[in-house]
Amino acid sequence: MKAKLLLIFTFFIVSSASVYAQTPVSTPTSSVTSTPNQSKISKFAEDLKAIDQSLTSIAFSLAKVMVAALSLLVLYRLVLLIVYRSSQLVIDNVSNASGADELEKVLPSLSQLARERLVREMKGVRQRVKEHIKTVGPETYRPPNKLPLPQVTPDQRLADLVASLNELTPDQIDPVVQLLKVIFPPFGTKVTSILQSQGQEHSKLGITFEITNIEGRLSSKLYTIWESTDGKTADTKNDSSQMLKDRYRELLRPAARWLAIELCRREMVDAVPWTYFGNRRKKYQAQINNFFGVLNFASVPTHGKFFYQLAIEDLQQAIELYPDWYQPYENLADIYSTQGREFQGKEGVNLQRQAILQYEEALQRCQDETIKRRIRVGKAMAQLVTGNDTFIQEAKQEIQNVEKNWDATEELNTQFLYNLASWYAIALTQGFSDASAEKTARLYLAYALVRNSDRDLWYWASKDPDLKGINEGFAELQFTLLKKLNEVPQLPKLKNQDFAKPIQEVLQEVNWL
């Protein structure tokens, strides 16, 4: 306020001085002589003029400093937006194409619930990706540390700043500013969700996802997740709006799982090094398909059986890309065998035969004898449930060969131990073994769980139908094993009696012997 008053006062004096300086003064005609007062006024006016010029120079200097500071701030802001750009995940609000008008009122809640479920599923999938990376080496894809949170609209801060610069900068610089949009475009993924329905009474519901790459580097994908009909009768009436809402909310769970897997897959495919060409690139992509095939397979017990088909498609694609690699053959065989044990009769037997063929393909391509043992046990499981006497005898002989001169307390391969436990559990259920099979299966299962440092088998074992005949009291076994692992943290790495004795104590405590 003081500065403003001083400026007004100075302006008033300068204006007054100018008026006085320009006012004509009457003088005698006889002579034109300046009086001392006139000289003082003229000098004062000149001093004021000098002050005015100084103030003007100072004002212009301050303005230049402010413009320079603002320019630096704008440049700093621009650099931050460019350098710290992150991948965006834009999830549109759910739209309704089901024909049920009453769902319009719940679309906002469904949209928000879908985003929440997607975040939860993506955390789980990202964790599996990180675990996978630890085992396959440094050349593979590294997921970003930050999980992109779903948002309704894309981030337009950089575009808005560039547009503002276009209005302020000279016309000659406009093309350079426009190039910023081209050189540094937004990147990420946009997902559109649409509710679907089949039948006049909404007998089957679905959610269609359209996935689009914002930058345009990857092709778009359109896929519909349909409601499972398992356990439902054909004449079930689903005309209640409350039931429709609940059914769509239930469908969001497997749909969000599929979307989370697909988004992570697209990230990984987009990150394939540009230096990979020809067979090297195909091999890398085959590894991606193989990993997501296993991940889809692992999603079956918790998210629905339609993940079986997704897993099979991934593994078949991996085989097509890299036919000399044993791993996708083994994983495909595991899927066929597991799926076949859920069917009775001819369909189940056909699936087991397909599994046997895939195990044989894997054995032909595998060079590691340790891995071959695991594959042979998997093949023996498939043979055991075919009902064919020749296959059953071959399976029993294979297990005898595997266990010959073998010490289970020195075995470090978790999956091999788990497969053996499954074989004995199946043999017990099918009636192809004596009562000792139960104790053997439980012992191998306990060994496998202790050796499993990542604990991914712990949840799977609790749901595995192959272990249904031996896993009574499994929750108590888990609890007691965890207590023992807390007491003896080095137990997973021990061997011989140092390994066997603590586990024997646990099995006796839970009456598994």
Residue whose pair of structure tokens reads 């975040």 in the numeric block: 119
Same domain, 484 and 432: yes
Same domain, 125 and 77: no
* pLDDT attached to residue 316: 97
* pLDDT attached to residue 128: 84
Q: Kindly give, in sequence order, each residue whose CB lies less than 8 Å from that of residue 269, ignoring residues fewer than 6 positions away.
A: 218, 285, 288
Sign of the C-alpha dihedral computed for residues 313, 318, 321 and 327 taken in this order: negative
* pLDDT attached to residue 302: 86
Is residue 170 in some structural domain?
yes
* pLDDT attached to residue 236: 41
**Per-residue model confidence as pLDDT tens digits over 322-357:** 999 999 999 999 999 999 988 878 999 999 999 999
In the chain, the amino acid numbered 197 is: S
Residue predicted with more confidence, 501 or 213: 501
Which tokens is 440 given? 């053997």
* pLDDT attached to residue 163: 65
Q: Is the pLDDT of residue 290 over 90?
A: yes
- Identify the helix (H) or strand (E) that includes residue 17: helix 2-22
* pLDDT attached to residue 506: 94
Within 137-240, residue ranges assigned H as helices are: 157-168, 174-183
Is residue 375 in some structural domain?
no
> Which residue, 353, 350, 351, 403, is CA-closest to 377?
403
Is residue 389 in some structural domain?
no
Same domain, 186 and 168: yes
Give me the percent of the chain exceeding a pLDDT of 90: 45
* DSSP reduced 3-state for 493: helix
* pLDDT attached to residue 507: 94
Is residue 30 in some structural domain?
no
Q: Is the pLDDT of residue 179 over 70?
A: no
* pLDDT attached to residue 500: 94
The C-alpha atoms of residue 11 and residue 48 are separated, in whole angstroms, by 9
Sign of the C-alpha dihedral computed for residues 269, 455, 312 and 306 taken in this order: negative
Is residue 362 in some structural domain?
no
Is residue 391 in some structural domain?
no
Q: Is the pLDDT of residue 148 over 90?
A: no
**Per-residue model confidence as pLDDT tens digits over 453-475:** 878 788 888 888 889 889 889 99
Q: What is the mean pLDDT of the segment spanning 290-311?
A: 92
Of 84, 99, 129, the position where a domain reaches its end is 84
Q: Is the pLDDT of residue 318 over 80?
A: yes
- In this structure, are residues 89 and 147 in contact, taking their beta carbons and an 8 Å threshold? no
**Per-residue model confidence as pLDDT tens digits over 74-118:** 666 666 656 566 677 888 899 999 888 888 888 999 999 999 999
Residue predicted with more confidence, 507 or 435: 507
* pLDDT attached to residue 410: 94
Same domain, 261 and 210: yes
Of 84, 111, 137, the position where a domain reaches its end is 84
**Per-residue model confidence as pLDDT tens digits over 39-63:** 777 777 777 777 878 888 888 888 7
Same domain, 91 and 210: yes
Same domain, 145 and 12: no
Q: What is the mean pLDDT of the segment spanning 395-417?
A: 93
> Which residue, 311, 319, 309, is CA-closest to 282?
319
Same domain, 6 and 112: no
Q: Is the pLDDT of residue 32 over 50?
A: no
Is residue 437 in some structural domain?
yes
Q: Is 341 exposed, middle or buried (CB count within 10 Å of its CB: 0-12, 13-18, 19+)? A: buried
DSSP label at 30? T
- Identify the helix (H) or strand (E) that includes residue 458: helix 456-463
* pLDDT attached to residue 3: 42
Mean residue pLDDT of the chain comes to 81
Confidence of residue 20 (pLDDT cuts 50, 70, 90): very low
Same domain, 80 and 99: no
* pLDDT attached to residue 225: 92
Q: Distances from the Cα of 179 to the Cαs of 74, 89, 99, 217, 266, in angstroms?
A: 17, 24, 46, 19, 27
Same domain, 73 and 150: no
The C-alpha atoms of residue 476 and residue 192 are separated, in whole angstroms, by 45
Provide φ and ψ at 199, rounded to 5°.
85, 150
Is residue 357 in some structural domain?
no
* pLDDT attached to residue 237: 43
Please state whether beta strands 95-96 and 221-226 pair in parallel, antiparallel, or not at all (unpaired).
unpaired
- In this structure, are residues 91 and 152 in contact, taking their beta carbons and an 8 Å threshold? yes
Q: Kindly give, in sequence order, each residue whose CB lies less than 8 Å from that of residue 158, ignoring residues fewer than 6 positions away.
A: 78, 81, 82, 85, 180, 181, 184, 186
> Which residue, 395, 384, 513, 494, is CA-closest to 445?
513
Residue predicted with more confidence, 369 or 35: 369
End-to-end CA distance of the chain: 91
The C-alpha atoms of residue 510 and residue 439 are separated, in whole angstroms, by 13
Count of Cβ atoms closer than 10 Å to residue 204 Cβ:
15
The C-alpha atoms of residue 438 and residue 423 are separated, in whole angstroms, by 11
Q: How many domains does one find in the chain?
A: 3
Confidence of residue 489 (pLDDT cuts 50, 70, 90): very high
Same domain, 68 and 98: no
The C-alpha atoms of residue 244 and residue 228 are separated, in whole angstroms, by 14
Same domain, 52 and 199: no
* pLDDT attached to residue 421: 94
- In this structure, are residues 287 and 271 in contact, taking their beta carbons and an 8 Å threshold? no
Same domain, 133 and 247: yes
- In this structure, are residues 299 and 314 in contact, taking their beta carbons and an 8 Å threshold? no
Confidence of residue 9 (pLDDT cuts 50, 70, 90): very low
Domain with 124 in it: 87-227+240-271
